[in-house]
A = this chain, B = another copy of it.
Amino acid sequence: MPRPRSLTPEQIATAALAVLDRDGLDGLSMRTVAQELGVGTMSLYRYVSDRGQVEELVVDLVLQAVDPAIPRGTPGKRLSALADRVRVVVSGHPAVVPLLLTYRHRSPSSLRWGEAMLTVLTDAGLTGKRRVIAFRAVLGYVFGALQVAHFGPLSGPGTAALAELPPEEFPILSETAARARGITPEEEFRKGFEIVLRGLGL
């Protein structure tokens, strides 16, 4: 066999994540990733079929850092801990947030995390269609909340602008936005997830 491969998918993912962390999503391109690896742009195509696959690799690399082991405690505590692990890991790489929903379902790490969540839901007595709905609702909340927090953080200019809205037209929205300043992303995510848990009866 001639010419052993010189790049691993993991190296590509690591390089892409470095670019993402440094220059954001706009800075991510085949050129910049190749440059980060010290390799020609077209060489990347020996290892991935297109840009989407690079994004897929980087999403999985990030989610690999989520420990899928099932924590101890009540079902509610277990689910909270599993969900919060995703929040912690993702908040370390905010630029990947927009990619999460697109590639989540193709990431093996995400699948392992999903199996863990479903295991806890099953232990809690959920089966059949109810379990499907519960799992999808949790998915929607977790990834939706991460994106809402990313694109419009409570301690950001967006919320500040809402607080300045004319009170005669938006009385409650402006008041609520003013009240929101200072709530941390961690508290927002955790208490929001508690609402979902309560809805599940856990």
List CB contacts (< 8 Å) of A178-193 with chain B: 179-180, 183, 187-188, 191-193
Interface centre among A106, A136, A188 (most CB of B within 10 A): A136
Q: Which residues on the B side are within 8 Å of A7 (C-beta)?
A: none
Q: Is the CB of A173 within 8 A of B118?
A: yes
Interface residues in chain A, defined as those with a beta carbon under 8 Å from any beta carbon in chain B = 98, 101-102, 104-106, 111, 114-115, 118-119, 122, 128-129, 131-137, 139-145, 147-149, 151-152, 154, 158, 162, 165, 169-173, 176, 179-180, 183, 187-188, 191-201
Q: Is the CB of A154 within 8 A of B136?
A: yes
Give me the 8 closest cross-chain CB pairs, A-B, nearest first.
A144-B144, A199-B199, A140-B145, A137-B192, A195-B199, A198-B199, A140-B144, A118-B172
Nearest chain B CB to A184's CB is how many angstroms away?
12
Interface centre among A129, A135, A148, A171 (most CB of B within 10 A): A148
Q: What is the chain B residue whose CB lies nearest that of A106?
A: B158
- One complex includes copies of this chain to the number of 2
- Known contacts A111-B165, A141-B141, A195-B137; A179 and B129 CB within 8 A of each other: yes
> How many angstroms between the C-alpha atoms of A132 and B158 in the bound complex?
15
